């Protein structure tokens, strides 16, 4: 469960996010939608604990700054950062170690397979295309089996097959009761997975919609 209460963020003079509140229940997908510059990334980075902000953000009722809260969330940035000298597989091993989790090779194999990375698992970070980096970044976030997961424009730069796989994974995460926050500027990317949608404009929340209120069925 994710609670965002009165979140504001100013970069120098730009008020990037202006008093935004929402919550996302376990097992549901919340989507931030809006044009470029409307504050979506800033919200996600704040939730991920990467920015200073005013307001309150709670993950499973703990402040997101709390180490116990950090342990349960996964974050997939819009622009993936890779270690140039680690292989694809080593990235996943690294993240599992950082979270203090056991290195489960079968789990790593199956994640790599889902994103067609099996043949590329020995490639180094600086040999990867943007799309491959995105896939590695998704594998790393999924490997830790987070309870709350944040995806910033996850479909951008992915091939159609990976987009399809990611949508299946999002549905699986919902079944596992995971809390999911996705930002996008393209509605069609989330139309079959969303439960709640927040419309952002110039840093403000200008609308909130629930799928079940709109008579939509899966
Ligand atoms: P979105 O994700 O919807 O494209 P952002 O959260 O990236 O929106 O940006 C919201 C506003 O904050 C924009 O005006 C953007 O230019 C500004 N902004 C984002 N990051 C920074 C930064 N690091 N420094 C200054 N301004 C920023
Ligand atoms: P997004 O809109 O999703 O933040 P961008 O490509 O606009 O993606 O931003 C890339 C990086 O540049 C981000 O880290 C963002 O915080 C930063 N950034 C965005 N706008 C500005 C800005 N006006 N001034 C300084 N940094 C910015």
pLDDT in tens, 6-59: 999 999 999 999 999 999 999 999 999 999 999 999 999 999 999 999 999 999
Q: Which of the four pLDDT bands, split at 50, 70 and 90, describes residue 153?
A: very high
Q: Which of 33, 39, 205 to mutate to test the pocket of ligand 1 (most atoms within 8 A of CB)?
A: 39
Ligand 2, atom nearest to 37 Cα: 2
Which residues approach ligand 2 with their CB closer than 6 A?
Answer: 36, 41, 78
Kindly calculate the radius of gyration of the chain based on its CA atoms and give it in whole angstroms. 17
The helices-and-strands tally (H runs, E runs) of the chain is 6, 10
Candidates 75, 81, 99; CA nearest to 149 is: 75
Q: Which of the four pLDDT bands, split at 50, 70 and 90, describes residue 215?
A: low
Check if the beta carbon of residue 99 is closer than 8 Å to that of residue 144. yes
Ligand 1, atom nearest to 152 Cα: 2
Ligand 1, atom nearest to 185 Cα: 3
Check if the beta carbon of residue 64 is closer than 8 Å to that of residue 58. yes
Give the model's pLDDT for residue 214: 65
Quote the pTM value: 0.88
pLDDT at 97 exceeding the cut of 90: yes
Question: How large is the average pLDDT for residues 171-188?
Answer: 92
């Amino acid at each position: 469960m994710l609670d965002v209460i009165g979140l504001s963020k100013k970069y120098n003079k730009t008020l990037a996010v202006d008093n935004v509140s929402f919550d996302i229940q376990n097992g549901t997908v919340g989507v931030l939608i809006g044009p470029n510059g409307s504050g979506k990334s800033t919200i996600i980075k704040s939730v991920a604990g990467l920015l200073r902000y005013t307001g309150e953000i709670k993950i499973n009722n703990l402040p997101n700054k709390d180490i116990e809260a950090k342990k349960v969330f996964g974050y997939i940035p819009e622009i993936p950062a890779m270690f140039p000298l680690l292989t694809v597989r080593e990235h996943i091993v690294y993240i599992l170690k950082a979270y203090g989790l056991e290195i489960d090779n079968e789990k790593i194999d199956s994640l790599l397979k889902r994103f067609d990375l099996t043949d590329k698992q020995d490639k180094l970070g600086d040999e990867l295309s943007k799309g491959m980096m995105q896939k590695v970044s998704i594998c790393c976030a999924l490997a830790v089996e987070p309870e709350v997961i944040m995806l910033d424009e996850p479909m951008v730069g992915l091939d159609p097959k990976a987009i399809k796989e990611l949508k299946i994974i999002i549905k699986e995460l919902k079944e596992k009761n995971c809390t999911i926050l996705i930002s996008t500027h393209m509605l069609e990317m989330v139309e079959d997975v969303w439960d709640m949608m927040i419309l952002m404009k110039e840093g403000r929340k200008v609308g909130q919609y629930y799928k079940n209120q709109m008579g939509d069925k899966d």
